[in-house]
A and B are shown apart, each in its own frame.
Chain A
Amino acid sequence: MIDFETPVLKEYPIIPLIQPGAMAHSKPYVAKQDLQEKIGFPGELIDDWQEVAIKKMGELVSKSRALMVFLDTCVKCGACTDKCHYFLGTADPYNMPVARQDLFRDVYRRYFTFAGKHFPKLVGAKDLDKDMLDLWYSYFHQCSQCRRCSVYCPFGIDTAEISMAAREILNTIGVGQKYCNEIIGKAQTIGNNLGLPEPALADTLEGLEEDIEEETGVKVRLPLDEKNADILLVTPSADFFAEPHVDGLIGYAKVFHAAGLSWTLSSHASEASNFGLFIGSYDNMQKISMRIRDAALELGVKRIVFGECGHAWRVAYNFLNTLAGPFDFLDQNYPIPQNISEVTYDLIQRNALTLDKSANDDKVLTFHDSCNVARGSRMGDVAGGQFIIPREIIKATCNHFYDMADDTIKEATFCCGGGGGLLTDDLVELRVKGALPRMEALKQVVDNHGVTHMVAICAICKSQFSKVMPYYGFEMDQVISLHQLVGNAIVLNRSE
């Protein structure tokens, strides 16, 4: 692993001057043959890769209006150039959204447009050669697909769509990323990203039940594969054991318990996360999604609820109905699927939970909007509900809450730096540097308001922050789950 310097936290964010090549060395490990083949891609770089890649590119563009329009319409206005956290943290110009897109667009122009075929120099069209392939592998794995750039582009150009397509092309010619593809393989065969089999999962849940009972004196259940439960909870597998995720899971269990809702986890669909999204693979994304449908049918549930996870919620909210629907066998009186935060918020609105805010008095809180919740989905029934609901839950469960600066939250939120399939140790430098804008915003509220903890609603954000916060002088346990707050504040009825 190369040494690198953690960026200094500045008082005011400054747009860096470009430093070409600053992150050219950043590349995740390449997936080995068996991982690739397991999820339907060639094991290693194929011989006629160039031809196949270009063919795939044409096919992808012809099947996606988004790609086609995005590739045509960019006017190179530069509005997006200072919007990416990876650019702000690394100063590498290829981390400017438009420059990242251009790695793809220049090749597209070369092979598919009149101007690029005949006047490549004029329009900056480039051949897909080995150097370009290396640039692709490097810089399309420096995009967390957070969509921040899309909010500021006058044409809504979403670099995430382009890096997903690029990764799919890379996979098609045998150059996959180890971290993502390994996880997709596990999710498809075992049912979760960790490869946690049913007995181990059952064990873990039992252990958690004991912990809760020890701590509260109340028997709160965490049921697994319970037929005819009303609610199937699908949650990121990190919730089963990682810190601070697990406290979130305990929080969900307490909410269900306190509200008297019948629920279950499934060992078949023991994973909310869907890494098929990150590699732009419709087929893989659909396969993982179908496990949820199958589990819901098998268990005979009436509702599907998702735990705290950003990209999982994007896939669930926006794609699940398309990928694995229609869900006409579920109770139509509830949104399908629902987010745990929506469930909790509803209960709070109806005064169905007894909450003691003072239980969180040892903390001063701020909230990190996860990119995939903020810009990839919604909660509740009004536009912007994804910003309102988590904040209302926080305010209902604690006394001290301060938002970070306006241009770093809600639709303008900065990615944690670990999303989009980059949450791996071989990309630590990128992850640390990409966290810079969020760390700067956090430092401000820490200095001005004495904030002690940052609340997150995404498994990736939580893991990423626990890892990178110490680099910036914070403690790893300063990031906590939203439902940890709820779990702390909820007053359980002992007589039950």
Chain B
Amino acid sequence: MSLLTFIFTLLFYAATATIVAGLAFKIRLYAITPTPLRIPTTPAPTSLSGVIARLFFEVTLFNSLFKANKWIWLFGWLFHAALLFVLLRHLRYFTDPVWGWVDTIQPYGKYGAFIMVFGLGGLWARRFLVDRIRFISSPSDHLMLALLVGIGLTGIGVKFVTGTDIVAVKAFFLGLIYFDWQPMPSDWLLSFHLVLVALLMIIFPFSKLLHAPGLFFSPTLNQIDNPREKRHTSSKSASSDNRG
């Protein structure tokens, strides 16, 4: 096993372990932390199905963001939609045989990276151009965008400029999954792309990327508006039943 293969094998195990364990830890913590009071925000649905619909549209369409700011919505939504597309397309490196629908999106998917970088560029530009957003940006906000742009650009490079041995890459990743380690093709641009991806996976559970699982736990969005019909008890209040 070459040094390169050794390093990348370790790196991806470490990155996968970090993101999985980190997210599991965080999600569990969110789930067990009490919600002392009912605080849904308007427009609050009055039923569970309403809440599910609300979360669905928040996740897929960024509903609230659309109400708030059309530019952020446009760039943000394009970026996320493209990211999702690109991620799905990448499934073909981890599945054998490749699932049919992954094959179907394949021809369009490869342009996703351009849209992703475009969206990120718009968001990044706002951090410089809009004084309000400049004020709230810290170095990590810029670096996060740099990282994602970096992943996008190196991805585009590998795909459209230098080209790479896809069969070998796929063998490497399938090898990781089945603990049957295969050599990592030595290609500096690809290596760079993969290092950035591993870095993203590692910082995921320690950063604002927690917004992805966080959204589902946000009490203002996921609570049902029925406090008069159903007495809400949790933690503190559960123990202080006022009967008697």
Which residues of A approach B to under 8 Å, CB–CB? Answer: 15, 17-18, 20, 62-66, 68-70, 72-83, 93, 96, 98-99, 102, 113-115, 121-124, 147, 150-158, 161, 282, 286, 290, 293, 317-319, 321-326, 328, 335-337, 374-375, 378, 381-384, 411
Contact = CB atoms under 8 A, between A and B. Distances in A.
A64 B35 contact: yes
Given A76-B137, A124-B139, A282-B36, A65 B217 contact: yes
A17 B65 CA distance: 21
24 contacts: A15-B132, A69-B30, A69-B217, A72-B26, A79-B65, A81-B136, A82-B132, A96-B132, A98-B136, A122-B143, A124-B138, A150-B41, A151-B41, A151-B42, A151-B67, A152-B65, A153-B68, A154-B62, A317-B227, A319-B37, A321-B231, A322-B233, A325-B242, A411-B43
A374 B40 CA distance: 12
A74 B208 CA distance: 6
A63 B34 contact: yes
Most chain A CB within a 10 A radius of its CB, from B133, B207, B214, B228: B228
A93 B132 contact: yes
Contacts of B208: 72-76
Interface of B: 26, 29-30, 33-39, 41-46, 50, 58, 62-65, 67-69, 72, 76, 123, 126, 130-133, 135-141, 143, 206-208, 210-211, 214-215, 217-221, 225, 227-228, 231-233, 235-237, 240-243
A73 B211 contact: yes
B17 to A, nearest CB: 16
A326 B233 CA distance: 10
A445 B240 CA distance: 49
A155 B221 contact: yes
Given A64-B34, A96-B135, A123 B140 contact: yes
A337 B214 CA distance: 32
B103 to A, nearest CB: 33
A337 to B, nearest CB: 8
B225 A383 contact: yes
Contact of A154 (B64, B139, B206, B210): B64
B218 A69 contact: yes
A113 B205 CA distance: 11
A156 B220 contact: yes
Nearest to B32: A65
B143 A96 contact: no
Contact of B43 (A65, A324, A383): A383
Nearest to B215: A155
Given A78-B69, A78-B126, A383-B46, A318 B37 contact: yes
Given A63-B33, A321-B231, A99 B242 contact: no
A151 B236 CA distance: 27
Given A81-B132, A122-B143, A65 B33 contact: yes
B75 to A, nearest CB: 10
A283 to B, nearest CB: 9
Instruction: Tell which of A151, A155, A383 has the most Cβ of chain B within 10 Å.
Output: A155
A78 B132 contact: yes
B132 to A, nearest CB: 4
A449 to B, nearest CB: 26
Nearest to B240: A286
Nearest to A329: B243
Contacts of A81: 132-133, 136
A68 B32 CA distance: 11
Contacts of B241: 326
Given A76-B137, A156-B220, A383-B50, A378 B44 contact: yes
A365 B114 CA distance: 53
Contacts of A157: 218, 220
Nearest to B76: A77
Contacts of B38: 318-319, 322
B219 A77 contact: no
B132 A115 contact: no
B60 to A, nearest CB: 12
B84 to A, nearest CB: 16
Contact of A383 (B45, B62, B220): B45
A253 B138 CA distance: 56
Nearest to A294: B242
Contacts of A17: 131
A157 B30 CA distance: 15
A154 B216 CA distance: 11
Contacts of A155: 211, 214-215, 218, 221
Contacts of A73: 208, 210-211, 214-215, 218
B43 to A, nearest CB: 6
Given A154-B76, A158-B39, 13 more contacts: A64-B35, A68-B29, A73-B218, A79-B68, A96-B132, A124-B138, A156-B221, A322-B232, A322-B237, A323-B237, A337-B228, A411-B42, A411-B43
Contact of B228 (A62, A153, A317): A317
Contact of B41 (A15, A78, A123, A147): A147
Most A-side CB within 10 Å, residue of B62, B140, B225, B236: B140
A80 B214 contact: no
Contacts of A18: 131-132, 135
A100 B51 CA distance: 28
A326 B240 CA distance: 11
Given A69-B219, A114-B206, A77 B65 contact: yes
B81 to A, nearest CB: 14
Given A63-B36, A147-B41, A72 B68 contact: no
Contacts of B140: 115, 122-124
A78 B37 contact: no
Contacts of A65: 30, 33-35, 217, 219
Nearest to B41: A150
Q: Which of A114, A157, A158, A318 has the most CB of B within 10 A?
A: A318
A158 B242 contact: no
Contacts of B123: 77
A324 B242 CA distance: 6
B214 A93 contact: no
B19 to A, nearest CB: 14
A96 B58 CA distance: 22
B64 to A, nearest CB: 5
Contact of A76 (B136, B232, B237): B136
A114 B22 CA distance: 12
B148 to A, nearest CB: 12
Contacts of B143: 122
A77 B70 CA distance: 12
A115 B205 CA distance: 11
B41 A158 contact: yes
Contacts of B68: 79-80, 83, 152-154
Contact of B218 (A156, A374, A381): A156
